[in-house]
Amino acid sequence: MKKQKIIITRKNGTYSIKGNGDRYLFELAKGAYERGEMQPTRTMKIKRFLRRLWLTYLHHIEVMCDAIVGTPSAADCELIVWEEKA
């Protein structure tokens, strides 16, 4: 078995995590990160960057498609009214 080592340090009121532990131990430490007690790891920062980059890319594609196809204005849409029968 591989030795697992997770180091949680506190400096100036903020926590940081490092180590080679398994997923379960990192999930336990993740709770402290989500509460704002610990700084994100390099992997978390890269994942967040890639997720934001992907969402920005999708947004730009949607804007370009709207510019090419065009979006109908509210004046062009028909009004649908539901009438209740008495």
The pLDDT tens digits of the residues spanning 36-54 come to 666 677 888 899 999 999 9
Q: Decide: 5 and 26 in contact? Cβ < 8 Å.
A: no
Token output for 13: 């009121």
Q: What is the rounded average pLDDT of the residues 23-44? A: 68
- Residue 4 near residue 20 (C-beta atoms within 8 A): yes
* Rounded Cα–Cα distance for residues 40 and 13 (Å): 14
Q: How far apart are CA 65 and CA 56, in angstroms?
A: 14
pTM (two decimals): 0.42
